[in-house]
Amino acid sequence: MNSKVQFVDITESQEGQRIDNFLIKTLKKLPRSRLYRIIRKGEVRVNKKRIKPEYKLCIGDQVRIPPVYKEESDNSPVVIPDVLLKKIESSILFENEDIIILNKPSGLAVHSGSGLRYGAIDVLRVLRNKSDIELVHRLDRDTSGCLLFAKTRQSLLAVQNLFKTQALTKTYIAIVKGHWDLNLIDIQLPLLKQTMSNGERKVFVDERGQQAHTRIEQATHYSCDGVKFSLLRIRLLTGRTHQIRVHCKAHNHEIAGDVKYGDRQFNRLIKKIGGGRLLLHASKLEIPQVAHTKSLEVKAPDPQEFVKLLLNKML
């Protein structure tokens, strides 16, 4: 069916929300690929002007939402398997009245879209019977580990501000190809998102891109069955799309199991010795005290794939 043009006036409860997130919540059944397409084509307008997906709404903004066609199949109810509901419930690392920190499994997207009926946020909304739970940040589908959600609009804005001011610390672990140069500590390379001819979106090191800063806090060399690799402990100082994956690739140390940016031969070799997934894991979140939470240091356990690879393999 075709919906009519909608005009929505932004109120205090929506202030500061990205336009793409606002539309995702408003047009719940619309595939994300189509949603971003109507933004790019200028069919979505704010105060009669074209905007980018990252535009943040202000009180008094008027959003024009164009007519969209929704497939009949989109109207079928989404059923989340009980086994996944139980897995996510048991993977919650911290929860209070305002925030949830989840140890997201590898392979689970953070939200629905692009052919996916549900993601981590949809599972949490079902578990808590609370539709206004929101993502504070994102993890790639195949990246596991600490993922932060807000239960209220106020806590969402407060914690997002911690990201902006770099007051919140995100630490990752990754297994990468070869032996990392121990003198390579800071990577500051600008990143640019591009849409390929087949519609795939990829990120490249490009001077026209956004500034991106990755810090290697620790690198340990390993070898197993003739395969050389390194375990990195990484602090993310900016949060660009695919930042760690592209920064590692730029230094010829592709992350194990990365099918988008990785080294195919290395992926085959690492899979034979136990690494059958993207070996990138958000291992720790450090949050200073704010109105919505006490000071926190939350750690996600090392995935079994990491444990298996690293056990007794250090040189």
Q: How far apart are CA 282 and CA 235, in angstroms?
A: 10
Closest C-alpha to 290, from 129, 102, 154:
154
Q: How far apart are CA 278 and CA 297, in angstroms?
A: 24
CB 207 within 8 A of CB 190: yes
Q: How far apart are CA 6 and CA 247, in angstroms?
A: 41
Q: How far apart are CA 44 and CA 118, in angstroms?
A: 24
Supply 93's token pair. Answer: 């690392």
Query: 287: which residues sit within 8 A by CB, 6+ positions away?
Result: 159, 162, 168, 293, 295, 296, 297, 298
Q: Beta-carbon neighbour count of residue 58 at 10 Å? A: 12
Q: How far apart are CA 101 and CA 94, in angstroms?
A: 5
Closest C-alpha to 182, from 223, 218, 214:
218
Long-range contacts of residues 123-127, Cβ cutoff 8 Å, at least 24 apart: 123/80, 123/84, 123/85, 123/88, 124/88, 124/100, 124/149, 126/80, 126/85, 127/85, 127/88, 127/89
- Stretch (H or E) spanning 217: strand 213-224
CB 108 within 8 A of CB 119: yes
Catalytic residues: 140
Supply 213's token pair. Answer: 């800063």
Closest C-alpha to 292, from 146, 131, 134:
134
